Structure 1
Amino acid sequence: MALRGDRYNRGAIAFHWAIAALVLVNLFIGLFHETLLAGLRVMPLHKAIGATVLVLSIARLGWRLTHRPPALPEAVPGWERALANSLHWLFYALLLILPLTGWIFSSNPERPRPVSWFGLFDLPLLPVSSGAAGAAHEAHELLGLLMTALVVLHIAAALRHHFLLRDRVLVRMLPWADRHG
């Protein structure tokens, strides 16, 4: 029987799946708003989701700093542990920087685009220059592509652990999986 400590706790699982769902929706909107979604007014939704991701990611980072994650199985080589740890921290950075660059871009004083949180209230425009807003726009696009690549890599790694290595790495984060092995 697996130990209870080999799984993520319910808080970490809730943060993971809520943020993952929002990020997937936002990546889809970001990648296809000018093609598949052309003509639809999806950018206000994209911005509201981005603001939500920012707030949830700050909370998740606080949770992560106060709740130790379960150790990887002993069979996982050291290089793979180091890579997994580095990529998780890169995810945290992107989950903060991507929404912030979007907010900076939207705050361009030459062409401000307010960020409305689902029509309930507007986030204040940030005091940035048009140059900073332009740089943020470029960064937002490039970092969005990096996030897309990391999401694909993350999913591939989880599936590799589950189907090829047949270990419990994926199961530890599934909310419906047996909590005892």
Structure 2
Amino acid sequence: MMRRNTSRSYGSIARSFHWLTALVVLANIVLGLTAVRLPMEALEAKVQLFSLHKTLGIAAFAIGLARILWALTQPKPVPVHPDRPVETLLAEIMHWILYAALVLVPLTGWIEHAATDGFAPILWPFGQGLPLVPKSTLVASVMASIHHVFAWVLIGAIALHVAGALKHAIVDRDGVLARMLRGRPAGTGAIQRHLAPALMAVTVFAAGAAFAIATRPDDAGPSAVLEQAASQWQVIEGELGFSVTQMGSEVQGGFSDWTAAISFDPDTGLGEVEVTINMDSVSIGMVTNQAKGREFFDVENNPVAVFHGAIRPDGVRFIAEGPLSLKGHEATVALSFTLQIADGIATMSGETVMDRRDWNIGQGYDDESSVGFPVALAVSLSARQ
């Protein structure tokens, strides 16, 4: 059994790469499509399928790179029908598209995963991030759209590739399929190399990326932005974030649009605060849309959350305590925070832990196997009087 290619046949290594790639890619397509179609009510199964999909995707990426590197060291068998230039050109274009897709489809999915936190981890011990890939909802959104389009390009190319192989086997009976199955020699003439098929493949993926970016869902921000609240202390900058455990992994989220009306007497340490949160501004990586849905924040019916807190000293720290109205429910929250005032600027940093069940959030998840009960809230801001 010849391991290396000849001008008329594929060696055993190239054939093994071909069929291993086919097995892994087809299995991963099934996993991905199944995971996407599972409802959020089946969150545990959905996360497990996505984890398998991502892990197998990295395996496909590694196999694809190895296959391409091996192909670069081998002669490419000659066309079986050099007298059919259009058919030969189309076959070459499909091969270039398939080779490119073996790298680009898993790579875009990997970058999307690395730009988010927590959801459906890759099943390996080497971490979830990638060098030079920031944690960014924009990067994740763009890569998700490109990954989706590239995946359908791959599926279409596979369908055409299989159709062509069946035509050669059933209609032409010319030995093309046997060349990849058993290494049987076929074809005559000289090895031909053309730049046009590679350029066509580049064009397909460039057009696909442009289409994906142009048609991706608008995630520029919430549809309505809150007006700045009248306040004794005006917020200069701040962050409002939270974290929750999902399937054993911590997931980070936050709100980009919120206001705070603050009155505070530095001499007594007493004051009041009213925080208004635009719930449509929530971001929590790959599950943002689910977080906005009826089972969680129900943003459509409850677009705003409001916290009224009384501020008082608590040793060397302070506490803002009062009701949080969220999703039509109200419960008391006590936020412990540090405060420093210098040159007329107040800087605070606080945190608390809440129970999502107090606001009927995630009511379909009545245990912590999928989504934890505790939600850690973190607030930091600077304000000027």
**Normalised by the shorter chain, which TM-score bucket?**
0.7 to 0.9
Partner of 2:32: 30
Letter in 2 for 1:63: W
The number of residues matched between the two structures is: 173
1:104 aligns with 2:111: yes
More helix, by proportion:
1
Counterpart of 2:22 in structure 1 is 20
Matched letter for residue 16 of structure 2: A
Q: State the Cα distance separating 1:44 from its structure 2 match.
A: 1.0
Identity %: 31
Q: How does 1:62-77 map to 2 (within 5 A)?
A: 62-74=69-81, 77=84
The residue aligned with 2:61 is 54
Distance 1:139 1:178, change over 3 A: closer
Q: Distance in 2 between matches of 1:61 and 1:75?
A: 24
Deviation at 1:5, TM superposition (A): 4.7
Equivalent residue number for residue 170 of structure 1: 177
Matched letter for residue 166 of structure 1: R
| TM-score of the aligned structures, taking structure 2 as reference length | 0.42
Deviation at 1:79? Answer: 1.4
Pick the aligned partner of 1:86 from 88, 93, 105.
93
Q: Relative to 1, partners in 2 of residues 1:102 and 1:64: Cα closer, same or farther, differing over 3 Å?
A: same
Cα displacement (A) at 1:141: 1.0
CA contact (8 A) 1:114 1:124 kept: no
Residue 19 of structure 1 aligns to a residue whose secondary structure is: helix
Contact 1:114 1:122 in 2 (8 A): no
Shift of 1:153: 0.8
1:33 is matched by which residue type in structure 2? A
User: Alpha carbon RMSD of aligned pairs, Å?
Assistant: 2.3
Q: 1:49-100 CA distances to partner (integer Å, 9 max, x unpaired)?
A: 1001111111111111110121121355111111111111111111101111
Q: Which has the higher contact order (CA 8 A, sep 6+)?
A: 1
Structure 1 residues not aligned, in runs of 5+: none
Q: TM-score, normalised by structure 1?
A: 0.85
More strand by share: 2
* Alignment check: 8 A CA contact 2:168 2:177 kept: yes
